[in-house]
Amino acid sequence: MAKIPKKVIDRLTNTIKPFQTVAMSHKMKDVSEADTVTLIKDVLAGCFGFNKYEELTSEQQIRGTFCDLAVKIDGKIKYLIEVKAAGVSLNDSHLRQALGYGANNGIEWVVLTNSIDWRLYRIKFAQPIDHEEVTSFNFVEMNPRNEEDLQKMFLLCREGIGSDAMGAYHQHAQIINKFTIAQILLTDSIVSSVRREIKRLFSDVKIDDQSIIDILKNEILKREVIEGDKVKETQQKIKRIMTKIQKDSEKRSDLKSDSANRISSGETSVVEEITESNKKPIMP
């Protein structure tokens, strides 16, 4: 995970509490969307470290429509923010609107928030265009002394943008998740290890690999991690990685074999030279 600078930790620790109080007050008072946008700009400047006047752009125009906020550094938009009123619950309609802004302008990262709930999405520019939620958090519950909370907030910080924290966090989340771990548990090597351990502990018990797989699928793992598109995607990813590892291993083995053959051939030549030399008559 990203190493968060001390100044960021100090800034969040010293500034977040008053903004959390205001966010809760806005929700209870059901303030307007415009007032929520003002609060978000203050949070981005006070907590997340952006220059309010140079790096935060209101009503960013995207092909004839307007997104509420854009974070822009050195003239380049880093992420868009679609804001809803503090008292409004975020829904799929709001998400489609936010993603539409990003997709229409080639912007990869989009935030949807009502000042309480913050959701970060990554747009995948494929055919068709797709998206995935990278992380989400409840702002009023965030604790700067909690490492997980810090990591999530750091993604939206000015310093996090400079270190590509979003990309690194997303990559980590793609690997370390329930789908990957579930599929690793079902690989031949892990299942075989479980069978050997059962045999070691209970020598009288006989069990085969398929029985262990059936127990894992039917009694231990949840359906969501063994069925569906995300599972198929993870299986393909692991298969590609295992194939690459196998090819790399074979390549190293071939190189080692070739090296050994060359050394062996060289040694034979030396022996032959010595033998032939010994056959020559010694001149007086």
What top-level class would CATH report for the domain 8-161? alpha beta
On whether the CB atoms of residues 37 and 188 are closer than 8 A, the answer is no
How many CB atoms sit inside 10 A of residue 104's CB?
A: 14
Q: Which residues are CB-contacts of 136 (< 8 A; sequence separation ≥ 6)?
A: 117, 118, 119, 120
Least confident span in 65-79, 141-155, 184-198: 65-79
* pTM score, whole prediction: 0.70
Q: 14-35: per-residue pLDDT in tens?
A: 999 999 999 999 999 999 999 9
Instruction: Give residue for tokens 């990685």.
Output: 241
Domain limits, the chain: 8-161, 181-259
Q: What is the amino acid identity at position 228?
A: G
DSSP line for 138-197: EGGG--TTSHHHHHHHHTTSHHHHHTTHHHHHHHHHHHSSHHHHHHHHTSHHHHHHHHHH
Q: 213-234: per-residue pLDDT in tens?
A: 999 999 999 999 889 888 888 8
